Chain A
Amino acid sequence: MTELFANPWFHWAFYTVLLISFALGAVMGLIYIERRGMGRMQSRLGPNRTGPFGLLQAVADAVKVLLKEDIVPANADKVVHWLAPIVAFVPVLLIFAVVPFMNGAMLADLNIGILYVFAIGSISSVGIFMAGWSSSNKYSLLGAMRDVASIVSYEIPLVLAIIGVVILAGSLSTNEIVKAQANIPFILLQPLGFIIFFAAACAEINRSPFDLLEADSELVAGFHTEYSGMKFAMFYLVEYAEALAMCAIISTIFLGGWQGPVLPPWLWFLVKTFGMFYVMVWTRTTFPRVRIDQLMALAWKFMLPLALINIVVTAIEVVIWPTPAGLPWVLIIVNFAVAGILIVTWSRLMKYGWGRVETTLR
């Protein structure tokens, strides 16, 4: 078996098949979790008719969507309209290449793994913009424009937030980052980084409360208003696969990935990933949606400065305590204190809660 995996061709083939089937299968799981979880949170049942506990609902939906007619608007840019779902979907699948399921169990252990994630991850917004532009629908275009605006703004705090982790781990490789969390997950050492990263990730993958590009209360369905049938299913898949990828990345760099006692590593990884997704479902059912200028203000005025300060603080800490022996309790306490103080003072500094833009009286 080991010599089989030593063969790079077999390694690639095995993990490619595994990753694609994992992505597709887990997306169904996510859809089930989201719909049932949201049902519970909203004091209703959620889908419970198809199969035991409604488990087959996602399958039924997939079959339904496959059988639907594919409608292309008359004025659409046909080629771009056709290409957009693919351009959006492929980069999301590519992210999984550097996600370690177990120690070294990944398609490619790139030494710049984290950089690769963000380089690849933002490509799918090109697909989303293509979809919005080619549909020749004003709602789609508005949704696509919002997506580009939010991606441009949120990439920066997103990447800055993990620099602290990279400093602590001393590596950009995702597997090395997980190994560096053998003692303690980085969420405890980087609470501020985690909060910024989580919020920015929600914006990056267009989850609530930053799901402006498909804001159903104003933009109908946003960029995929004009998509139907399998192409719509592709966008639906992109949405959840992106969420899955982001949750996998969060659990890798902040929650200790496959590290954990008792349970097998891959199970730990899955538990953490799905747990993160549940938090996203929770925020979705809890929060209203921010406005586009508030979204921008939050990114540039709140998250960007805090992410920069976080980097400086982490760098100083690493210089003072180069190799913390055992559990670095001092660091945990200091970091939580710093995070709390920074968030509170920054809110006070801006006079209004968490990056709120007070609209002026006309």
Chain B
Amino acid sequence: MALHTEPFILNIGPVHPSTHGVFRIRATLDGEVIVDIEPVFGYLHRGVEKLAEQRTYTGIIPLTDRMDYITSMSNNLAYVLAVEKLAKVKVPERAEYIRVIMAEMQRICNHLVAAGAFINDCGAFFTPFLYMFREREKLMDLFEMVSGQRLTYNYMRVGGVSQDLPAEFLPALRKFLKEMPAHIAEYERLINDNEIFLARSRMIGILPKELAINCGISGPVARASGVKWDLRKADPYGIYDRFEFDIPTGTVGDANDRYTVRIAEMKQSLRIIEQAVEKIPAGPVISDVPKVLHPPVGEAYGHLEGPKGELGFYLVSDGGIAPYRFHVRPPSLINLTALRQMLIGWKIQDAITIFGSIDITMGEVDR
């Protein structure tokens, strides 16, 4: 006798422990299996793009901090790269090195949060999360040294960075660089071969290579699917062409690959920082840029390989003190486009794992 069952609708979110902010998945379930989902976002919309059109070019930098609050350094950098392209500003050598150090530190910072939260979504009760936050704390101390802030740094400026590194920064960073590989090895030892973790993450939420490319997915999520695409190599901005590093890629594109790619990227970031710390020259950290910028009429698109993917800013200038149009290409939002294809057919528990493995920040999705 076949039992007649009926699908039912479960609203996962907007306020839910695992939606990483205010995100809602309207899931149609058949028992525990997901039949259909409809992602609903916009709960955190603050109109950053419109707000930015009323501000001076420098005044926009704090706004970018608050988009993806996990990675504000990268947001700052992506935005100032766009403005520098627009206004054709040169950046001093020392500032370029500081930017690379900051961007890579921010990448480690983000991947620590992403990996920790992902294992948490697999059901581990906060242990990996707190272990990774222990190291994130050290990074945030370093950020605090240079910018005075722990989360929203507002550090990058058009033409450089806001202030030089304090004297105690580089020794502290060297100490961190020495300790961090052991910590990464510790995470790998503790969780990578855990049978339950593998059972929960391997072959779950597979994102095929073609789908990843067609959806415009970038960053670790795309690389986990085997797309060897990294803007630091593909379109080197700043001075990234001077550094030696590899692009870790996954093979299948499952949740576990996305996790391992992030762990591998942390190691590569450490390599880049080590090289940058070796070579960092003395000199000014900001070029001579007018306080109120009047970029020539035109448009520019500045992008970088953010921790979550390609983060781009598109600016249109009408010659005034504020951009005529300010548009963001948020990696979090665009990486979510394949969510439906990735979730259908899996159980609710897998859905949470898959969603966690994409690594989004709602502040950036909704802006």
Residues of A within 8 A of B (CB): 38, 41-44, 138-139, 142, 208-209, 212, 215-220, 284-294, 353-354, 356-362
Within 8 A of A (CB), among B115-133: 119-127, 130-131
Given contacts A217-B123, A292-B347, contact A209 B196 (CB under 8 A): yes
In the assembled complex, B198 has its CB within 8 A of some CB on chain A: yes
**Cα–Cα distance between A219 and B16 once the two chains are bound (Å):** 9
User: B121-155: contact bitstring with A at CB < 8 Å (1 yes, 0 no)?
Assistant: 11111110011001000000000000000000000
CB distance from A84 to the nearest CB of B (A): 22
Contacts of A209 in B (CB 8 A): 123, 196
**Cα–Cα distance between A216 and B39 once the two chains are bound (Å):** 21
> Do residues B350 and A291 form an inter-chain contact, with CB atoms below 8 A?
yes
**Cα–Cα distance between A216 and B348 once the two chains are bound (Å):** 12
Contacts of B206 in A (CB 8 A): 361-362
**Cα–Cα distance between A213 and B124 once the two chains are bound (Å):** 15
Closest 7 CB pairs of A and B: A289-B123, A288-B122, A288-B124, A42-B130, A356-B199, A288-B123, A353-B195
In the assembled complex, B268 has its CB within 8 A of some CB on chain A: no
User: B196-220: contact bitstring with A at CB < 8 Å (1 yes, 0 no)?
Assistant: 1111101110100000000000000
Within 8 A of A (CB), among B162-207: 191, 194-200, 202-204, 206
**Cα–Cα distance between A44 and B131 once the two chains are bound (Å):** 9
In the assembled complex, B349 has its CB within 8 A of some CB on chain A: yes
> Do residues B194 and A287 form an inter-chain contact, with CB atoms below 8 A?
yes
**Cα–Cα distance between A74 and B126 once the two chains are bound (Å):** 34
Which residue, of A288, A290, A354, has the highest number of chain B Cβ atoms within 10 A? A288
Contacts of A212 in B (CB 8 A): 349
> Do residues A218 and B196 form an inter-chain contact, with CB atoms below 8 A?
no
Which residue, of A287, A290, A294, A362, has the highest number of chain B Cβ atoms within 10 A? A287
> Do residues A42 and B127 form an inter-chain contact, with CB atoms below 8 A?
yes
> Do residues B120 and A217 form an inter-chain contact, with CB atoms below 8 A?
yes
> Do residues B352 and A291 form an inter-chain contact, with CB atoms below 8 A?
no
> Do residues B18 and A218 form an inter-chain contact, with CB atoms below 8 A?
yes
Given contacts A288-B119, A289-B124, contact A217 B199 (CB under 8 A): no
- Report the nearest B residue to A146, measured CB to CB: B32
In the assembled complex, B238 has its CB within 8 A of some CB on chain A: no
**Cα–Cα distance between A357 and B200 once the two chains are bound (Å):** 10
- Report the nearest B residue to A285, measured CB to CB: B127
Residue in A38, A216, A285, A288 whose CB lies within 8 Å of B196: A288
> Do residues B131 and A359 form an inter-chain contact, with CB atoms below 8 A?
no
**Cα–Cα distance between A218 and B197 once the two chains are bound (Å):** 16
Given contacts A138-B8, A292-B349, contact A359 B204 (CB under 8 A): yes
Between A and B, 20 residue pairs with Cβ closer than 8 Å are A43-B130, A142-B10, A142-B348, A215-B349, A217-B121, A217-B122, A218-B12, A218-B18, A218-B349, A285-B126, A287-B123, A287-B196, A291-B200, A291-B347, A292-B32, A292-B347, A294-B199, A354-B195, A356-B198, A359-B204
Contacts of B347 in A (CB 8 A): 291-293
Residue in A215, A220, A354 whose CB lies within 8 Å of B123: A215
Contacts of A293 in B (CB 8 A): 347
**Cα–Cα distance between A216 and B119 once the two chains are bound (Å):** 13
CB distance from B86 to the nearest CB of A (A): 43
**Cα–Cα distance between A117 and B125 once the two chains are bound (Å):** 29
> Do residues B130 and A44 form an inter-chain contact, with CB atoms below 8 A?
yes
Residue in A43, A219, A289, A360 whose CB lies within 8 Å of B131: A43
In the assembled complex, B290 has its CB within 8 A of some CB on chain A: no
CB distance from B121 to the nearest CB of A (A): 5
**Cα–Cα distance between A218 and B27 once the two chains are bound (Å):** 13
Residue in A43, A216, A290, A362 whose CB lies within 8 Å of B200: A290
> Do residues B200 and A289 form an inter-chain contact, with CB atoms below 8 A?
yes
Contacts of B200 in A (CB 8 A): 288-291, 294
Contacts of A220 in B (CB 8 A): 16-17
- Report the nearest A residue to B356, measured CB to CB: A217
In the assembled complex, B92 has its CB within 8 A of some CB on chain A: no
CB distance from B360 to the nearest CB of A (A): 16
CB distance from B211 to the nearest CB of A (A): 12
CB distance from B207 to the nearest CB of A (A): 12
User: B1-29: contact bitstring with A at CB < 8 Å (1 yes, 0 no)?
Assistant: 00000001010100011100000000000
- Report the nearest B residue to A138, measured CB to CB: B10
- Report the nearest B residue to A357, measured CB to CB: B199
Contacts of B349 in A (CB 8 A): 212, 215, 218, 289, 291-292
**Cα–Cα distance between A41 and B123 once the two chains are bound (Å):** 16
> Do residues A361 and B16 form an inter-chain contact, with CB atoms below 8 A?
no
**Cα–Cα distance between A42 and B120 once the two chains are bound (Å):** 13
